[in-house]
Every structure is written in C-alpha cells, then in structure tokens.
C-alpha cells in the first residue's frame, strides 16, 4: 500500500539530527505506531523520485537486526520515510549507564549481524555507524537504522553540507560529538588530505563499530572535541594517535575484539564473518543475557541522571 501524510496522527518529536527530525506517529489505516523521519532537501522532483525509488529497496530488507521500513514519499522539498518505532530510543541514551560485559557483547553481536546482513543481502555498506543509529526497544533488541541505501540521498546530503562546512564552528559539534560530513576513519581522513577520493569499504564501517562499542562503554565519543583545539587536531589524533581502547574492566577477549576493529590499517581489520567467529561473540551465542532488565535499569538511571551535553569551549 502507499503511505501518505494524511494517514498520520502526529505525536512527539523523538529527536533531531543534522539533516532533519524524527517524529513518533500513528499510521491510522493500519493502527501501527511508526517513526517518521523528515529530511529537508532542495532538489528537483526527478532527484526526489530517485531517492524514493532507491529507498523502496528497503522493502526487501527483513532482518531482526535492521529497522523495518514502511514506505517513503516526498512533499515539496522534503523527503519523508516511515520506519519501525523503537520505544527505548538509541544507544547513545544508554552510553555511560552501567554496561556489563555480557550486554556489551550482545549489543555488538546484534550490530555485526546487522552489518553483515546489509552487506550480504542488500550489497550495501552502512556508512554511518554510530550510537544514534543503533536503536533499542523494550524487548531489549538492538537494530540498525540510517544505512546508505540511497546513493542519491547520500550525495544530496553531502552537497547540502558543503555550504555550511566553513561556517560550522568545531565547538558546535559537541552535541553530536563527531563531524558527520567529515570522514572519521584513518584511511579516509588520510585519503581526503592527499586529495584522493577513497572509496568507502566495509572496513570503514568496522572501524566505526569499534568506536561505537567504546562509546557505549565509556559514555562519550572516544575523540572528544573538547580535548582538541580544532577539528584538524581531532582528525590528526585519529590518523596518528594510538587507537582508543576499552576500559580495563572488560575482559581480554573484549579488548582484543575492539583492538581488531580499530586496526589503523584498514586492510588488517576483520570481516564480519571473522568478527562473528571471534571468541568474544562466540561466547555470546551461548549466553542468556537479560537485555530487558538492562534496558529498564538504563531508563531508570537516565531518569536520575539525564544526559547532559558537554559544555562548549569558551
């Protein structure tokens, strides 16, 4: 069936990203609660149609590691797409709460399985692996969203950002903790600085996965902007500094898993299959992990300790 704006009853805003907003909605014809994402793009209709067509590929995507896609449409210069509503929000909300090792392993395995599904079944890379793009529900499931299905959408978003790059002060990044229009992986930062366009590879997603695991464990992006005087210093640290590590309280297997993801030479990073065969994730398959309890405790903890963003540099 075709989804359209009139079908929705609108509820509260779930969040705001760099490109638009996400709202909780009720799809009246089906009675299904959904998340509706609005992306503002100044594009002609033919380009908008291309984006909708490309997004429709997602109708083929069914995996319990990936957010379900319900449909997309455009109105004027906005693209709207509807997806499964995840009632516990995104992983960044839980980052910095107590994250026991078995929970961290379960989150990681879900993400690796999701990434492998995208690569093997849809032949796409994610391109934006980070805690806000891993959603959680009260059943304790973790699913990926916002992966690069639409080349046209990715290109348009990249273009939209060129205009504001030079105006955007580094300290304004603190809310998002990473610069979404600059590459975040050593091989891609280096490529950019040498004026070569490095093609994005699955290994770059593996690097971002490593950073995401650490961020969930420590509660903030491992290269926090407030410790660097500008974005170039931050990028230099990613390229030339030692890769970040998981806190000591996690086991040697967990440490090794993250270190493998964060090999600076992209060619040395493991494939998804190799990651799934890593002892740390093999161990997770056999374990009974109380994810529901963890989500409940995390929500209670955040009620007492709301997430506050790091104050910007003076």
Active-site annotation, residues: 128
| Binding test (CB under 6 A) with ligand ATP, winner from 7, 20, 122, 148 | 20
22: partner contacted, choices Mg ion, ligand ATP, none (Cβ within 5-8 A by kind): ligand ATP
Q: Show the tokens assigned to 105.
A: 């392993």
Segment contacting ligand ATP (CB under 6 A): 17-25, 185-193, 195-203, 215-223?
17-25
Minimum CB distance to ligand ATP smaller for 160 or for 180: 180
Q: Which of 132, 158, 153, 155 is CA-nearest to residue 144?
A: 132
Residue 15 contact among ligand ATP, Mg ion, none, beta carbon within 5 to 8 Å by kind: ligand ATP
Task: Please give the Cα distance from 95 to 271 (Å, whole number).
Answer: 25
C-alpha closest to that of 72 among 17, 44, 34: 34
Q: What is the dihedral of CA 4, 136, 204, 109, to 10 degrees?
A: -130
Q: Which of the choices Mg ion, ligand ATP, none does residue 19 contact, using the CB cut-off of 5 to 8 A by kind?
A: ligand ATP
When asked if residue 22 is in the footprint of ligand ATP (CB under 6 A), the reply is yes
Annotated ligand binding at 177? The verdict is: no
Q: Write down the least CB distance from residue 24 to ligand ATP, Å.
A: 7
The four Cα atoms 109, 238, 21, 171 give a dihedral, to 10 degrees, of 140
CA distance 90 to 17: 12
CA distance 41 to 43: 6
Cβ-contact 185, 266 below 8 angstroms: yes
- Crossing angle of helices 45-55 and 151-165, rounded to 10°: 120
User: Which two three-digit tokens encode residue 259?
Assistant: 């270190």
Contact call for residue 135 and ligand ATP (CB under 6 A): yes
Whole-number minimum distance, CB 29 to ligand ATP, in Å? Answer: 19
| Choice between 108 and 133, CB closer to ligand ATP | 133
Query: Restricting to residues 135-154, which ones interact with Mg ion according to CB under 5 A?
Result: 146
Contact between 243 and ligand ATP by CB under 6 A: the answer reads no
| 49 interacts with, out of Mg ion, ligand ATP, none, CB within 5 to 8 A per kind | none
Are 67 and 52 contacting, i.e. CB atoms less than 8 angstroms apart? no
Task: State how far the Cα of 164 lies from the Cα of 68, in Å rounded to an integer.
Answer: 32
Separation CA 17–CA 160 (nearest Å) = 14
148 binds ligand ATP (CB under 6 A): no
**x/- contact string, 52-91, with ligand ATP (CB under 6 A)?**
---------------x---------------xxxx--xx-
Q: How many residues bind ligand ATP (CB under 6 A)?
A: 24
Cα–Cα distance measured from residue 294 to residue 259, given in angstroms and rounded to the nearest whole number: 25
Residue 115 vs 254, nearer CB to ligand ATP: 115
Q: Where are the alpha helices (DSSP H) in the chain?
A: 45-55, 91-94, 101-121, 151-165, 186-193, 202-218, 231-240, 252-261, 272-276, 279-286, 291-304
Chain residues 224-253 in contact with Mg ion, contact rule CB under 5 A: none
Binding of ligand ATP at residue 294 (CB under 6 A)? no
Cβ at position 144, least distance to Mg ion in Å = 10
Binding flag, residue 133, Mg ion (CB under 5 A): yes
Q: Is 145 in the site for ligand ATP (CB under 6 A)?
A: yes
- List contacts with ligand ATP (CB under 6 A): 14-20, 22, 35, 67, 83-86, 89-90, 128, 132-133, 135, 145-146, 176, 180
- List contacts with Mg ion (CB under 5 A): 132-133, 146
């Amino acid at each position: 069936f075709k989804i359209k704006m009139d079908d929705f009853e609108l509820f509260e805003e779930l969040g705001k990203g760099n490109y638009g907003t996400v709202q909780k909605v009720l799809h009246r014809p089906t009675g299904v609660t959904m998340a509706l994402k609005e992306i503002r793009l100044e594009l002609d209709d033919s380009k908008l149609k291309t984006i909708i067509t490309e997004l429709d590929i997602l109708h083929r995507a069914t995996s319990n590691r990936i957010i379900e896609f319900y449909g997309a449409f455009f109105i004027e210069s906005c693209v709207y797409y509807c997806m499964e509503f995840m009632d516990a929000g995104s992983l960044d909300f839980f980052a910095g709460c107590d994250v026991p090792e078995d929970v961290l392993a379960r989150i990681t395995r879900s993400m690796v399985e999701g990434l492998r599904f995208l690569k093997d079944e849809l032949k796409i890379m994610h391109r934006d692996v980070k805690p806000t793009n891993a959603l959680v529900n009260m059943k304790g499931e973790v699913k990926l969203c916002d992966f690069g299905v639409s080349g046209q959408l990715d290109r348009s978003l990249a273009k939209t950002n060129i205009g504001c790059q030079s105006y955007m002060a580094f300290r304004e990044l603190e809310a998002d903790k990473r610069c979404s229009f600059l590459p975040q992986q050593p091989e891609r930062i280096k490529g950019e600085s040498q004026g070569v366009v490095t093609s994005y590879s699955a290994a770059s997603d593996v690097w971002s996965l490593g950073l995401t695991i650490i961020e969930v464990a420590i509660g903030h992006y491992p290269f926090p902007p407030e410790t660097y005087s500008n974005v170039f210093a931050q990028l230099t640290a990613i390229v030339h500094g030692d890769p970040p590590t998981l806190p000591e309280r996690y086991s040697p297997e967990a440490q090794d898993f993250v270190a493998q993801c964060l090999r600076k030479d992209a060619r040395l990073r493991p494939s998804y299959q190799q990651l799934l065969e890593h002892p740390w994730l093999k161990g997770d398959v056999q374990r009974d992990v109380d994810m529901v309890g963890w989500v409940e405790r995390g929500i209670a903890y955040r009620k007492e300790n709301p997430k506050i963003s790091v104050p910007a540099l003076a």
